[in-house]
């Protein structure tokens, strides 16, 4: 893979400045649901993410497809994550696009976290474990779509 050496040097250089944007749980309010997701990302300048997620809300499971994009990214990674959902009042409010303005640096295996929010005010505090060689230095978005 031609991008691996570039991504490795860049990831190591940015590892000291790329900090997770996870806020304290108290600032988010009371948890209302949980989510588990698996995703893959492939990037050459502009990146694309795809995967699946399961939301557990009021003792019921809802299945979602996950898609997203990143600007200014290079590499490939596979990630799994578990998150706590806040401010969810109806299951259908979970669907939509969530924004995050943080970078990612993965070389081999890594862990990180983010707080994501959609237009309905639903927030996800998510912890991700990833593997691969990927560097993303700009804003990203992820969309959850309810599977029928």
Token readout for 139 is 């804003």
pLDDT at 130: 79
Averaged confidence pLDDT in the chain: 75
* Token digits of residue 92: 């259908």
- The predicted model gives 132-141 an average pLDDT of 62
Beta bridge partners of 132: 77, 108
Number of domains composing the chain = 1
**Collapsed DSSP state (helix, strand, coil) of residue 18:** coil
Do 55 and 35 contact (CB within 8 A), yes or no?
yes
The span from the CA of 110 to the CA of 88, in Å, is: 29
- Residue 28: the pLDDT is 80
In sequence order, which residues have a C-beta less than 8 Å from that of residue 16 and are 6 or more positions away?
Answer: none
Domain carrying residue 126: 3-146
- Condensed to tens digits (0 to 9), the pLDDT of residues 53-103 reads 999 999 999 999 999 877 656 677 888 899 999 999 999 999 999 987 554
DSSP 41-93: EEEEEEEEEEEEEEEEETTEEEEEEEEEEEEEEEEEEEEEEEEEEES--SGGG
**Which residues share a beta bridge with 115?**
125
* Rounded-to-integer distance, Cα 71 and Cα 46, Å: 5
Task: Please give the model's pTM, rounded to 2 decimal places.
Answer: 0.72
């Amino acid at each position: 893979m031609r991008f691996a050496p570039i991504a490795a040097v860049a990831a190591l250089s940015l590892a000291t400045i790329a900090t997770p944007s996870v806020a304290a749980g108290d600032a988010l309010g009371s948890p209302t649901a949980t989510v588990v997701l698996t995703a893959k990302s492939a990037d050459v300048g502009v990146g694309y993410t795809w995967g699946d997620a399961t939301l557990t809300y009021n003792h019921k499971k809802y299945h979602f497809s996950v898609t997203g994009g990143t600007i200014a990214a290079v590499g490939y990674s596979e990630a799994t994550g578990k998150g706590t959902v806040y401010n969810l009042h109806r299951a259908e409010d979970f669907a939509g696009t969530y924004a995050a303005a943080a970078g990612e640096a993965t070389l081999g295996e890594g862990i990180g976290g983010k707080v994501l929010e959609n237009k309905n005010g639903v927030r996800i505090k998510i912890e991700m474990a990833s593997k691969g060689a990927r560097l993303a230095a700009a804003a990203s978005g992820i969309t959850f779509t309810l599977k029928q």
